[in-house]
Structure 1
Amino acid sequence: GPGMDVIIPWGSVAPAAPPCSLTDVMSEQLARQLDEENSAFPAIADPTSDLLLVDDAPDTTSDLMLAQMLQMQFDREFDNQLRREEKKFNGDSKVSISFENYRKVHPYEDSDSSEDEVDWQDTRHDPYRAEKPQTTPRKGFTGKGKNITTKHDEVTCGRKNTARMDNFAPEIHVGDGLGMDLKLSNQVFNSLKQHCYSEQRRSARLHEKKEHSTAEQAVDPRTRLLMYKMVNAGVLENINGCISTGKESVVFHADGGSLDEQPVPEEVVLKVFKTTLNEFKNRDRYIKDDYRFIDRFSKLNPRKVIRLWAEKEMHNLSRMKKAEIPCPEVVLLKKHILVMSFIGKDHVPAPKLKDAMLSSEDMKTAYHQVLHLMQQLYQECHLVHADLSEYNILWHQGKVWLIDVSQSVEPTHPHGLEFLFRDCRNVSTFFQKRGVSEALNMYDLFNTVTGLNIPVGAEDEFIAEVTRSHLIKPRLY
């Protein structure tokens, strides 16, 4: 009707706000947000102070302090990662491992560590850590009246003994008894301590023996170094391998080089004398009574004695070479290693007389050669081989060669003629077994070699007569 206000759905719209740019809108919102944030904090007199720390917080304007705080934050992040790794590694296992030693921040120094994370093992209250026994005061007892406890109390002494096990050597394993309330009696503890000392001494002996005695095939570290030096110096081209082993030495084959601009034989051998201590009991009698070495013999220093042994073989070979007796030629002596010419060809050593396949004629020839060499050795070289047998005689190029003369002595040696008689027995027995009809018995062979005329009788009487007739004067060379 005419009196009613008609509302038109598409009536006029209220006038819009004046348009503004997006930059004005953003700056206005930013200002309002900053104003709200500032009103949420109390007024601060010093804007540089850190609200998250206590009142006496350090000055953060220092670069050093800021760096330390940043490093602390990094350390805590590292520790959080370590916790996760530890939890993942342990899982639900009853036996767990701890990365405590790798933490950057100790747990009770980190005030922000929360209770719901993995528990850190506090070493100050470790239930498995051995408690230090109570010390007895100087007066010697604690307590009063019936509760008095002296330093001789069984329980106190037992705990002290258990704690002392921690002082044993590292190689002595005492188990986890230190973490238990064990009470070791004095008797048990003393037995354990004595066992610990014994094990240490035994270990030291084994180590010393390994270092100072020859190891596998007589090549200990010192010997190996000497051999390497020979190769480096050009004396040897290379060392090929072991060709013979014995009770007292090991022989290696090598290719010769040059020494002092002089050529070394194309094939040589290295005779390495063993330095194991148990061999010297048998060697002493060959050196200590030899007047050539008596002033230098020392039973207390086996390494020096073994050098004398090698030097003695060198001198004996040189003396035999002058008499033109077939034997190895000395090239070089270096401590207990003797380099000699090789008897053989193309890396194949000449066979020992016991292994040589000889005809009866060759065996007869070998016998006469050995007899002649024994006479030469005794009369011209003034030596007794002292270990002559089919094992130390080689057959090469149709004749016999003598080797292993390290134990050879002069006839004037107190046991020289006894050694010679033993050689005669070995030679006579071998050739008689091989069917050499001309082979003399040991008594006649001894008289033939020495030129003596000792009557043949029982062996004991013959040896006694040999000892009595030992009147030859020593000859100096």
Structure 2
Amino acid sequence: MENAGVTADTPKGPWGSVTPAAPPPPLADVMSEELARQLQEEDVSGGFPSLSPPAPDLPPADDASETTSDLMLAQMLQMQFDREFDDQLRLEERKFNGDNKVSISFENYRMVHPYEESDSSEDEVDWQDTRHDPYRAERPQAAPRRGFSGKGKNITTKHDEEVCGRKNMARMDKFAPGFLVGDGVQMDLKLSNQVFNSLKQHCYSEQRRSARLHEKKEHSTSEQAVDSRTRLLMFKMVNAGVLEKINGCISTGKESVVFHADGGRLEEHPEVVVPDEVVLKVFKTTLNEFKNRDRYIKDDYRFKERYSKLNPRKIIRLWAEKEKYNLARMKKAEIPCPEVVLLRKHILVMSFIGKDHVPAPKLKDVKLSSEDMKKAFYQVLYLMQQMYQECNLVHADLSEYNILWHEGKAWLIDVSQSVEPTHPHGLEFLFRDCRNVSTFFQKRGVSEAMSVYELFNAVSGLNVPFNEEKEEEFLTEIMVLEKRNEDHVQKRKKKSFAVMLEDGGPPLQPDSDD
């Protein structure tokens, strides 16, 4: 009977009898450290190596802290799970809403109501929780949070003054790189829409102006520099053997740049001797001062016809051609001046006035004794008379800056603006030259220096009556004489071609651009 009872209680299977399973231990034993240590010892004794180091010996737990109720342990674990779930839900809510004006609350999906922060340990702080971050307040914020700030309060929109101010500062880097926009904390800068739009328009205007100036600089000469076309012409002269080498810039003026070079030879014209030292006068192709210079050439009967048919940029070449013909007249009258060697477009090659790469000083800079200064005055007076009477020219820009002192005598340079006395403003230009010369020598203490009226009559030979206290009357008389010359200008206009032949050849035709 006993065996039958045992047989009935023991479960059977197709492979034999089954050993009954041990009853499950209570949850308190599962969570206890003693049970864990016991299981670990059994594993070691059974031949299975332990994957974790043995736990250190812990002091026996206090009887008051032990909990034997499985329900209480389960509730504690569930509470901890609910809190972790709420923390994750709160992060998802923050990530989902972002900076939107209208936010969606996940409050109804939370497991713990209300959320209790006091139950969490102070030592255990989630690394994603930045509510208690001490550096959080110091981080720069581009703009304040938009949307409703609370019940009964105003709404913050994108048109808010503070929001727009900070947003405008952030946009400054797009069109004004390097502009200090602040850090959001100590330098919390803001720009109003009016100031931002003004700065933006100004930056765009400056960029367009800079582009125009850059393009203009590429196609024109500037101070102590030349454009690509001018450099190409200079290199062609060196390759052709006209110049041995170009040494550098001597001086710059309002209308030209002068370079020093070593002369070579002209294979096309072997009879022309190129001096050992020459200068290249490059006329600037900029038109900034052209309106002030056109009065010297548009009424000159020698170039009036061609002046009306050329564009403003090609007229610069006409200036170089005009100086060539004026120097040819002066050289024919044996006036000390540079000798023209070659003309290429707006580059004029002339003989060098100086020695050993050192240019002759200007009359303004040279220091002369009283006798030499007196001698210089009479030389200048004689040169002005020669130009007016023999060359039929008025310098029109004569001063101590355009007179060189070399080998004990005065040399005249820069005659591109020189005109004939029959020019509509020829006598006015002569009067201005006389004023400059008379004023300079009087300041240098030359007692023999004439007044401007006496010097004008001595050069022109017109014997215009004058009163030193009434300059207006003298100028009026000059204007009357200029009007009388208009008929003479018309007559000379018909003989312009013949005069050109006498001066050194037919008028040059405007050549094409390279």
| Alignment equivalent of 1:301, drawn from 311, 326, 340 | 311
Please say if 1:264 is aligned against 2:271: no
Q: CA deviation at 1:257?
A: 0.2
CA distance in 1, matches of 2:329, 2:223: 32
Q: CA deviation at 1:193?
A: 11
Aligned residues: 311
Consecutive aligned runs of 4 or more in structure 1 exceeding 4 Å deviation: 170-173, 190-201
Deviations 1:237-277, CA, capped at 9 Å, x for gaps: 00111111111111111000001353310000001111222
Unaligned 5+ segments in structure 1 are 1-169, 174-186
Residue in structure 2 matched with residue 313 of structure 1 by the alignment: 323
Residue in structure 2 matched with residue 382 of structure 1 by the alignment: 392
- Contact 2:287 2:313 (C-alpha < 8 Å) held by counterparts: no
Q: CA deviation at 1:218?
A: 4.0
Unaligned 5+ segments in structure 2 are 1-173, 178-193, 500-514
Write the letter of the residue equivalent to 1:364.
Answer: K
CA distance in 2, matches of 1:393, 1:290: 24
| Alignment equivalent of 1:322, drawn from 319, 329, 332 | 332
Residue in structure 1 matched with residue 215 of structure 2 by the alignment: 208
| Alignment equivalent of 1:248, drawn from 237, 241, 255 | 255
TM-score by length of 1: 0.58
Q: CA deviation at 1:198?
A: 5.4
Residue in structure 1 matched with residue 423 of structure 2 by the alignment: 413
CA distance in 2, matches of 1:203, 1:245: 24
CA distance in 2, matches of 1:450, 1:409: 14
CA distance in 2, matches of 1:270, 1:393: 18
Residue in structure 1 matched with residue 367 of structure 2 by the alignment: 357
The aligned runs of 1:139-154 (5 Å cut-off) are none
Structure 1 residues 454, 191: closer, same or farther in 2, change over 3 A?
closer
- Contact 2:220 2:226 (C-alpha < 8 Å) held by counterparts: no
Structure 1 residues 454, 232: closer, same or farther in 2, change over 3 A?
same
- Contact 1:390 1:427 (C-alpha < 8 Å) held by counterparts: yes
- Looking at CA atoms only, which structure, 1 or 2, has the larger radius of gyration? 2
Residue in structure 2 matched with residue 93 of structure 1 by the alignment: none
CA distance in 2, matches of 1:354, 1:197: 46
Structure 1 residues 296, 197: closer, same or farther in 2, change over 3 A?
farther
Residue in structure 1 matched with residue 475 of structure 2 by the alignment: 463
Residue in structure 1 matched with residue 245 of structure 2 by the alignment: 238
- Contact 2:402 2:413 (C-alpha < 8 Å) held by counterparts: yes
Deviations 1:358-387, CA, capped at 9 Å, x for gaps: 222221221111111111101111100001
Deviations 1:100-158, CA, capped at 9 Å, x for gaps: xxxxxxxxxxxxxxxxxxxxxxxxxxxxxxxxxxxxxxxxxxxxxxxxxxxxxxxxxxx
Structure 1 residues 301, 204: closer, same or farther in 2, change over 3 A?
farther
Deviations 1:330-381, CA, capped at 9 Å, x for gaps: 0011111110000111111111111222222221221111111111101111
Residue in structure 1 matched with residue 446 of structure 2 by the alignment: 436
Deviations 1:39-74, CA, capped at 9 Å, x for gaps: xxxxxxxxxxxxxxxxxxxxxxxxxxxxxxxxxxxx
Bigger Cα displacement from structure 2, 242-251 vs 204-213: 204-213
Structure 1 residues 218, 406: closer, same or farther in 2, change over 3 A?
farther
CA distance in 2, matches of 1:428, 1:413: 23
Deviations 1:196-224, CA, capped at 9 Å, x for gaps: 98577535423321222213414111111
Q: CA deviation at 1:388?
A: 0.6
| Alignment equivalent of 2:290, drawn from 280, 298, 301 | 280
CA distance in 1, matches of 2:442, 2:223: 38
CA distance in 2, matches of 1:362, 1:193: 63
| Alignment equivalent of 1:372, drawn from 379, 382, 390 | 382
Residue in structure 2 matched with residue 289 of structure 1 by the alignment: 299
Secondary structure at the aligned position of 1:309 is classed as helix
Please say if 1:341 is aligned against 2:389: no
CA distance in 1, matches of 2:315, 2:241: 28
Bigger Cα displacement from structure 2, 313-322 vs 431-440: 431-440
- Contact 1:218 1:275 (C-alpha < 8 Å) held by counterparts: no
CA distance in 2, matches of 1:404, 1:388: 9
- Contact 1:333 1:339 (C-alpha < 8 Å) held by counterparts: yes
Matched-pair identity in %: 81
- Contact 1:329 1:341 (C-alpha < 8 Å) held by counterparts: yes
Write the letter of the residue equivalent to 1:222.
Answer: R
